Amino acid sequence: MIEPSVGSLVALRAEGDRLPLHCVHPVSGSPFCYSAMAHRLRDGQPVFGFEAPGFDGASEPLTSIRALAELHTASLRAARPHGPYQLLGWSLGGVVAYEMARMLAAEGEEVPLLVIVDAALPGTQSVPPDDELARYFLYDFLGVTRDRAPGVDKALAGVRPGAEPAEVFEAAEVHGAVPEEFDAEFLMERYALFRTHVVAMREHRLDAVHDGPAILIKAEDSVERLLDWSPYVSRLTVRTAPGDHHSVWQGAGLTAISAIVDQALGEATAG
């Protein structure tokens, strides 16, 4: 049995008496990527985030999507024993939020809003070799995509194929591809959690349909075929926001996501 941890719930915007929105961390394990959105929502809208075990550098990471969903569901119910519940998740967080919504519904709780932001279906991609995954981790850590990371690519140009992740991060540190406060040792610690989550995501399989209402927000530059959630959500609304998987949380993408979520929150609580 997974023990709940109310301490894993982080207040992104604590004030307000509206029905809270609970946001699930992406692959990094941190929910603070949602902070800017939280403060763009209507007055009185509380927003909380789930932090992944292992992000604190002390606890052990969980190795499956189901385990993450079970833990966060238990933590949510420890803090708020009964619904309705409103959930949101980006990337890996979207898959975990989806499984949480199914668990809550199976327990007889109401989930009037589930928002999945640019989450590729699990099991659609394989786990790359560690040197490639370490490079992708740096892209994710810096919030950029592969074709928009000249600093990372230049720094790693001399790294041999098949290099250990530690070599990749040392090259990134030496060549200034990451801010100087993040040394290779810190990157290696964060990478361990990142890799655990990537493997969990790639190994997970969806095995049922969520019957509640859900919104899929797709980044317009993302790969369409990886985002077809329609077989797994019976009441799915699809919206699009400008940007790619990471830049969708900046500028026009952030404005669009915030407006979509704000409208959905108003409609969900209205009826």
Ordered mean pLDDT values, 10 residues apiece, the chain (271 residues): 61 93 95 95 96 88 95 95 96 97 96 96 81 86 69 77 84 80 86 92 91 95 87 95 92 97 90 56
pTM of the model: 0.91
Based on the fold, state whether residues 262 and 188 are members of the same structural domain: no
Asked whether residue 14 is assigned to any structural domain, the reply reads yes
> Which residues sit opposite 210 in a β-bridge?
233
Based on the fold, state whether residues 47 and 88 are members of the same structural domain: yes
Q: Can you say how many angstroms the Cα of residue 109 is from the centroid of all Cα atoms in its chain?
A: 23
Domain boundary pick from 182, 200, 218: 200
Q: Can you say how many angstroms the Cα of residue 90 is from the centroid of all Cα atoms in its chain?
A: 4
Domain boundary pick from 200, 231, 250: 200
Based on the fold, state whether residues 223 and 141 are members of the same structural domain: no
Based on the fold, state whether residues 168 and 64 are members of the same structural domain: no
Based on the fold, state whether residues 118 and 139 are members of the same structural domain: no
Based on the fold, state whether residues 32 and 119 are members of the same structural domain: yes
82 CB-contact burial (10 Å; exposed 0-12 / middle 13-18 / buried 19+): exposed
Domain count, the chain: 2
Asked whether residue 28 is assigned to any structural domain, the reply reads yes
Cα distances (angstroms) measured from residue 18 to each of 36, 45, 86, 87, 162: 18, 5, 11, 14, 51
Based on the fold, state whether residues 245 and 184 are members of the same structural domain: no
Residue 39: domain span: 6-123+205-270
Based on the fold, state whether residues 165 and 40 are members of the same structural domain: no
The CATH number linked to 77 is 3.40.50.1820
pLDDT of residue 4: 47
Are 167 and 159 a contacting pair, CB within 8 Å? yes
Asked whether residue 30 is assigned to any structural domain, the reply reads yes
pLDDT of residue 138: 86
Asked whether residue 134 is assigned to any structural domain, the reply reads yes
Asked whether residue 34 is assigned to any structural domain, the reply reads yes
CA distance 144 to 146: 7
Based on the fold, state whether residues 81 and 210 are members of the same structural domain: yes
pLDDT of residue 145: 64
Based on the fold, state whether residues 173 and 113 are members of the same structural domain: no
43 CB-contact burial (10 Å; exposed 0-12 / middle 13-18 / buried 19+): exposed
CA distance 78 to 263: 28
Are 21 and 261 a contacting pair, CB within 8 Å? yes
Domain boundary pick from 167, 200, 233: 200
Based on the fold, state whether residues 21 and 104 are members of the same structural domain: yes
Are 122 and 95 a contacting pair, CB within 8 Å? yes
Asked whether residue 1 is assigned to any structural domain, the reply reads no
Of 40, 36, 69, nearest in space to 52 by CA: 69
DSSP string for residues in 197-226: HHHHHHH----S-EEEEEEEEEETTS-GGG
CA distance 239 to 257: 9
Based on the fold, state whether residues 14 and 105 are members of the same structural domain: yes
